[in-house]
Amino acid sequence: MRNLIAAVAQMGPIARDAPRSSAVARMCTMMTDAADRGASLVVFPELALTTFFPRWHLEGADLDQWFETAMPNAATQPLFDLSAKLNVAFHLGYAELTPQGQRFNTAIMVEAGQIVGKYRKIHLPGHQEPEPWRPFQHLEKRYFETGDLGFSVFDALGGKAGMCICNDRRWPETWRMLGLQGAELVALGYNTPLHYPPAPEHDHLQYFHNALSIQAGCYQNGLWALAAAKAGHEEGCDLIGGSMIVAPTGEIVAQALGVGDEVITARIDLDRCAEIRRNIFDLAKHREPQTYGLLTAPKAG
């Protein structure tokens, strides 16, 4: 059996003027808490170092300040150092500015102080041009490029791990791409508003849709998911919590209770992935990819 204790570190709101050192200090506190519970992995949210800046229309230096040009850097080095000291791996989401000037919504997996996996968000939600009618903007399509690393799977924690970010979790293709490559554990972070301006009639479903997407992805692909929210009332916008750890059966085995900083843990057995993969969702035996041509056809519009 390949057992480990995994932790999800939900974060409460981050103020617009809060320095990165403040967020890193909070993450270090939660990493220490997770280590005290025996965890060997802790998952932090999407864009965990700052407030969710795509809710504002920004240009030039006002935009550049939210991006990291190196990882680790002076602000995040304490997290890397603590990870190595405690022997706790971690997943971290942040805004990345590459040397070539590209901007991505990025996540990394760090083990023994070294980056062992990197992912750049593919399914970017929101809009590209400011829309004044909205109570807050969601300009991810303006500020980020579509991820160019694909849905990669890598060796970590004695198994096969993958990552996705926020809106990716809603797309079954995300989970299937990871499952086809043998991912046994998927780490993901999210910043999800409670209010969805284009369809406010769905506001009461935000927690349900979050859980539905993650549970279905786990069950249909026989893998574990560790999902970490940035939550609470952040700069006039309410973000859902609901951080969770989900088993390959689709069952929620641990879930955050509030919308502030909170660590949840669960013992996970990576060998349980086989329960699904050798039965109903034996992909080698039961998939019929020759009939799925529309899945990779060019998108319309």
**d(C-alpha 61, C-alpha 138), whole Å:** 19
Residue 46 appears among annotated catalytic residues: yes
Q: One of 46, 68, 96, 234 is an active-site residue; which one? A: 46
Residue 118 appears among annotated catalytic residues: no
- Please, are residues 264 and 256 in contact by the beta-carbon 8 Å criterion? yes
Residue 121 appears among annotated catalytic residues: yes
SS3 readout for the chain: CCEEEEEEEEECCCCCCCCHHHHHHHHHHHHHHHHHCCCCEEECCCCCCCCCHHHCCCCHHHHHCCCECCCCCCCCHHHHHHHHHHCCEEEEEEEEECCCCCEEEEEEEEECCEEEEEEECCCCCCCCCCCCCCCCCCCHHHHCCCCCCCCCEEEECCEEEEEEEHHHHHCHHHHHHHHHCCCCEEEEEECCECCCCCCHHHHHHHHHHHHHHHHHHHHHHCCEEEEEEECEEECCEEECCCCEEECCCCCEEEECCCCCCEEEEEEEEHHHHHHHHCCCCCHHHHCCHHHCHHHHCCCCC
Q: One of 96, 121, 140, 218 is an active-site residue; which one? A: 121
Q: One of 164, 166, 218, 237 is an active-site residue; which one? A: 166
| Active site (catalytic) residues | 46, 121, 166
